[in-house]
Amino acid sequence: MPAPAYSIAPKLAHNATIRVGRGESPDWTKITGLQNVEWPDRMPSDLDITNQDSPGFAEENMPGILPAVDYAIDHLLDDGSAGDTALTELAERDPVTALKELHLVEIGVGGKTVTCMGYVKEYKPVGQLKGVVMMRTTWRLMATVANAAAGGGA
């Protein structure tokens, strides 16, 4: 007798990834200690294009441009790791220009991957007194520059 099958083909999020890419031909650094990873919420605004010829006596809309969004993750502190070092550096402002380094942020969940241009707004410790030290990284994500897996996108 064959084993029962699932009604769908679920995927585990266990292999979710976040990497930062720096430089012209990016050197990629994996962020470790992930526990929950969500897809960035980059829903475009609706633009009203209703006019005298709109069909069915109804409003018409079309999607606007993708917004720049804040994207935050909480992850375990992996003190001194390549990811911790990269995020610490990316959170700093240039001492001369006061700008932050633009870099690539690759987010992979469930076999879907999106890569956006962004900068680190904040990299800080958070946590409960009786728990482990967590870090919260907040990026400002802007243009989607690549979708590395089929079905990826923003």
Q: What are the pLDDT digits (tens) for 101-151?
A: 999 999 999 888 999 999 999 999 998 878 889 999 999 999 999 654 433
pTM: 0.81
The DSSP code for 32 is P
Q: Within a domain: residue 3?
A: no
Give the model confidence (pLDDT) of 59-72 as tens digits: 999 999 999 999 99
Range of the domain at 118: 17-146
Note whether residue 98 is domain-resident.
Answer: yes
CB 48 within 8 A of CB 58: no
Q: What 8-state DSSP symbol labels residue 3?
A: P
In this structure, is residue 154 part of a structural domain?
Answer: no
CATH of the domain at 113: 4.10.410
Residue 42 in tokens: 């980059």
**Is residue 48 included in any domain, yes or no?**
yes
* Tally of domains within the chain: 1
Q: Does any domain span residue 23?
A: yes
Is residue 152 assigned to a domain?
Answer: no
Residue 30 lies in a domain: yes
Give the model confidence (pLDDT) of 24-78 as tens digits. Answer: 889 999 999 998 888 898 899 999 999 999 999 999 999 999 999 999 999 999 9
